[in-house]
């Protein structure tokens, strides 16, 4: 989609600017993930994965108690996010 938008495709540009709303079942996870990413560490090889210790510190600081499935979801989301950030661009 991003590639199409960069090539000037108006529909792709519109869809990226107007994503569908997240389900109320997961919207809180996205907000938490965005908050966690603000303090993400990085090294010589790019952004680091969020550690369980960082997530625990965030929970303590924010007064949030994650359910085990929420913690696993945040870790999985982070892994997928980092994969997309480090994947080579398709189509040059």
Give 66's contacts (C-beta < 8 A, 6+ positions apart).
Answer: 55, 59, 74
Domain boundaries, the chain: 24-92
pLDDT at position 91 is 55
pLDDT at position 88 is 67
- Beta strand segments in the chain, E: 42-43, 46-47
Give 70's contacts (C-beta < 8 A, 6+ positions apart).
Answer: 29, 32
Mean pLDDT by 10 residues, the chain (92 residues): 87 89 90 92 83 95 96 95 75 52
Total-model pTM: 0.72
């Amino acid at each position: 989609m991003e590639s199409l938008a960069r090539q000037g495709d108006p529909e792709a540009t519109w869809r990226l600017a107007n994503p569908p709303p997240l389900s109320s079942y997961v919207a809180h996870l996205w907000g938490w993930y965005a908050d966690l990413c603000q303090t993400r560490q990085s090294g010589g090889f790019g952004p680091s994965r969020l550690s369980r210790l960082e997530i625990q510190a965030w929970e303590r600081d924010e007064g949030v108690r994650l359910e085990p499935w929420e913690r696993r979801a945040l870790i999985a989301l982070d892994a997928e996010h980092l994969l997309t950030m480090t994947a080579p661009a398709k189509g040059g």
